[in-house]
Structure 1
């Protein structure tokens, strides 16, 4: 069975609490993560093309 990956392309996640979220291999291209808390979030192999990370809290990213 083929793997299925989450696609949150162009999603508006402004100010979201995404601490410890697992976005491994997800598609976040064009998403708005401005002001989001990404403390210890897993972004390995994630598509971050044109993602807005203005004032996002990026401490401890994996």
Structure 2
């Protein structure tokens, strides 16, 4: 699995970090980002739910 967040789409709603905090976080400006080392999803079952929870569909989950 490969995760990415489109910085052009992200509005900083924080749903990803709330849903799967071990894989997603927010930067200093409040925008979502993948926790370093977790680009593969870290085996979290909540990764796909976090992607679905994103109000602007900024999270890509491949694989």
TM-score by length of 2: 0.26
Q: Which has the higher helix share?
A: 2
Q: Which has the higher strand share?
A: 2
Greater RCO structure (CA 8 Å; 6+ sep): 2
TM-score by length of 1: 0.26
Q: Which has the larger radius of gyration?
A: 1
